[in-house]
Structures are given as C-alpha cells and as structure tokens.
Structure 1
C-alpha cells in the first residue's frame, strides 16, 4: 500500500485533499493524511459516499462501495485512488 500511495503525484494528492476538504466543509490545514474523517471531523457515511463519487467523477475511475471501509482518512483515499488508477 505504501508504494501505491507514493505513486500518486504531489499534485494528485493536493487535488484529492481539496476535494475531500470541500465535501467535509473543512479548511485544508484542518485535515492531515491520517486524521480520521468520522472521528475527528464528524463526517457521516453520506460524506464518505460523496468522496467516493467525487473520486470516480474527477479521475474517471470505477470504485467499489466496499472501498468505503478503507476511505477513513486521506491516506486511505490516496491508496484507493492509486490502486484504481493502476488497473
């Protein structure tokens, strides 16, 4: 998983973070790669689904809803997107 996260460019990570912060209605500096969406930012499951949908639309990838369980923080979103783009 670490290798796949590293495969994402700095620009791609920044774009993902911006999308996530927009959906969660947070400032960029409020979210770290490891801060938990639900526990630390009060995101509900609908927000996570919105993040998944936004990743699919923005990057033209297909993601399974099973991936939602991994998308608990930015690092998880990075990994899911990197794996989907690597297929």
Structure 2
C-alpha cells in the first residue's frame, strides 16, 4: 500500500469517526457502521457530503448501500475520484 493510499484511508477514517462520534480505535476496515456502531441513515448522508467536500468529488446517493464500512467507503470514493 502506498503512502498516498494510506493517507487517503486515514482521512476517510477520520471523517467517518468524527461524524459517527467514534474513537478511531473502535473502527476497523470491515466493522459495519450500522450493525457494529449504531450509525443511522443521516450519518451516511453526512459522511457522503463530507467526503465530497474533502476530496472534491461527486458521489451519487445510489452508492450509499455500498458505504457500510471503511473498505466500502474507500472503494466508492476511489471510484468517484478516479484513484
């Protein structure tokens, strides 16, 4: 994994944890936001909007079902950004 990928993943994790009010140590790449951390659908919308702002991309709301954990969020953001 390159330093750039690690930096992007770290930024995504920071955004997700801030919105869901979680400690970064609680969240793994595969832990589920709703099932494992009690997130709600509003949190998902906030995450999407924050990612768009942070990375200068547009993410369709139809991608929300894929954004259930950090891996999914990274995949969706990477596709939107063309990484």
TM-score range, shorter chain: over 0.9
SS of residue matched to 2:50: helix
- Equivalent of residue 61 in structure 1, options 42, 57, 65: 57
- Equivalent of residue 39 in structure 1, options 35, 52, 60: 35
CA root-mean-square deviation: 1.5
**TM-score normalised to structure 1 length:** 0.89
Gaps of 5+ in 1: 1-5
Query: 5 Å matches for 1:5-84?
Result: 9-84=5-80
Higher relative contact order (CA 8 A, sep 6+): 1
Instruction: After the TM superposition, list the runs of 4 or more consecutive aligned residues in structure 1 that deviate by more than 6 angstroms.
Output: none
Aligned to 1:3: none
**TM-score normalised to structure 2 length:** 0.93
> Number of paired residues?
82
SS of residue matched to 2:54: helix
